[in-house]
Amino acid sequence: MIYPRAVLFSVRNKLILASASPRRVALLKQIAIEPDEIIPADIDETPEKTELPRDYALRIALEKARAVATDHPESFVLAADTVVACGRRILPKTEKTGEAKRCLELLSGRRHRVYGGIALIVPGGKEVSRVSQTIVNFKRLTAPELAVYLESEEWKGVAGGYAIQGRAAAFIKSLNGSYSNVVGLCLYDTMKIVEGAGYTHGHTD
């Protein structure tokens, strides 16, 4: 029996997630996708001068995927990057209290955008990518609210200084777009890319 190319891919080729983010692993499990391997990509994530947030999110996702695919040409390699942007400004993944405080003060009482770059490299080297966008409207934070959130340390290592799936959910007045994109990976776009490229989740080797 002759199988379609998509089915042949699903049987013979592994899916590698080029990310160390436990949030992305958990999100993928929601849609029954479990990577065969998790291999974090080691790349320079410094934004280029005048680089727009949307362009940066896509570039970094592609560079992560390429870095891992080089050593795994027979696998599907999925990568993503989440960027919180205030206007044209790319907010950092906060590691220090002062950095998180500055981000939250900037976001307080205003709308901002979250861009999610998604990149998939299929066996053979073809690249598929897209950028998801979510508009998030923050309430105006009081000094006590800000202090309590900073003490929680939920802001550590996350873009823009807040994790929407935690205590910061109480700061969100409205959201236009994908919620999972703000968490770390737009599941709708990811499923479309992965299935469109010929990978069938829930496969066996």
How many of the other CB atoms lie within 10 Å of CB of 36?
13
pLDDT bucket at 101, cuts 50 / 70 / 90 = very high
Amino acid 118: pLDDT: 98
Residue 6, pLDDT > 80, answer: no
* Residue at 105 is within a domain: yes
Is 81 part of the annotated catalytic residue set?
A: yes
Which residues are paired to 134 by β-bridges?
114
Residue 60 lies in a domain: yes
In a domain, 145, yes or no: yes
Query: Is residue 8 very low, low, confident or very high in pLDDT (cuts 50, 70, 90)?
Result: very low
Q: What is the pLDDT of residue 13?
A: 85
| Strands 76-86 and 111-121, bridge-based pairing | antiparallel
The answer to whether position 43 is within a domain reads: yes
* Structural domain boundaries enclosing 20: 5-196
pTM for the whole structure: 0.90
Q: What is the pLDDT of residues 84-99, one digit of tens each?
A: 999 999 999 999 999 9
Active-site residue (options: 36, 55, 81, 205): 81
For residues 87-114, average pLDDT: 97
Distance CA 195, CA 133 (A): 21
Domain contains 201: no
Domain total in the chain: 1
Instruction: Give the pLDDT mean for 171-175.
Output: 97
Q: What's 189's domain CATH number? A: 3.90.950.10
Query: Is pLDDT above 80 for 201?
Result: no
> Is 203 within a domain?
no
Residue 57 lies in a domain: yes
Question: Given a cut of 90, is residue 35 above it in pLDDT?
Answer: yes
* Percent of the chain clearing pLDDT 90 (strictly above): 87
Asked if pLDDT for residue 1 goes beyond 60, the answer is no
The model's pLDDT over 54-78, given as tens digits with 9 standing for 90+, comes to 999 999 999 999 999 999 999 999 9
pLDDT-derived band at 7 (thresholds 50, 70, 90) equals very low
pLDDT band (50, 70, 90) for residue 200: confident
Q: Which residues contact 105 (CB under 8 A, 6 or more apart)?
A: 141, 146
Tell me what pLDDT residue 202 has: 54
pLDDT at residue 12, rounded to an integer? 59
Considering the domain boundaries, does residue 93 fall inside one? yes
Mean pLDDT, the chain, as a whole number?
92
